[in-house]
Amino acid sequence: MKKLTLEDLSRDELLTWIRRCLPFVATRQTDLLWIRHESQSAKAAELGERQIEAGKVEDLAMQEWLASLNGPARRKLACEKAHLDAQDAYGRAQRAYERARAAERALWAALEAAWKEERP
């Protein structure tokens, strides 16, 4: 059997391990908020990359639509629909990114408040 690492354990197994190994260590709110903030920051960064990619797709679809304006009507309508779909996808990606950034900022504010509370 291969040697296990923390990454190999499931969520429940990790929680069980934490509860058994660290029963006398005080878990501070700032530690938990810090971990949550790190994961939210990573999520926001990923959504930011998706927003950039959706923006590139929307830009290419718009260029294709503009190029098709003097062409056949069927192609023009297909390109216009593709552009509108890409525009909607970009809007969704932008809103998801903004929500993730707002959650990240809220966690940071909560973390700062907890730091002030824990200081003597």
Residue 106 has pLDDT above 90, yes or no: yes
pLDDT digits (tens, 9 = 90+) for 73-102: 999 999 999 999 999 999 999 999 999 999
Q: Please tell me the distance from the alpha carbon of residue 62 to that of residue 93, in angstroms, as a whole number.
A: 17
Residue matched to tokens 């970009």: 90
Residue 113 contacts residue 37 (beta carbons within 8 Å): no
Measured N-to-C along each axis, helices 29-67 and 73-118 cross at an angle, to the nearest 10 degrees, of: 160
Q: Which residue has the higher pLDDT, 5 or 115?
A: 115
Look at residue 16 in the predicted model and tell me its pLDDT: 86
Residue 18 has pLDDT above 90, yes or no: no
pLDDT digits (tens, 9 = 90+) for 26-76: 778 888 889 899 999 999 999 999 999 999 999 999 999 999 999 999 999
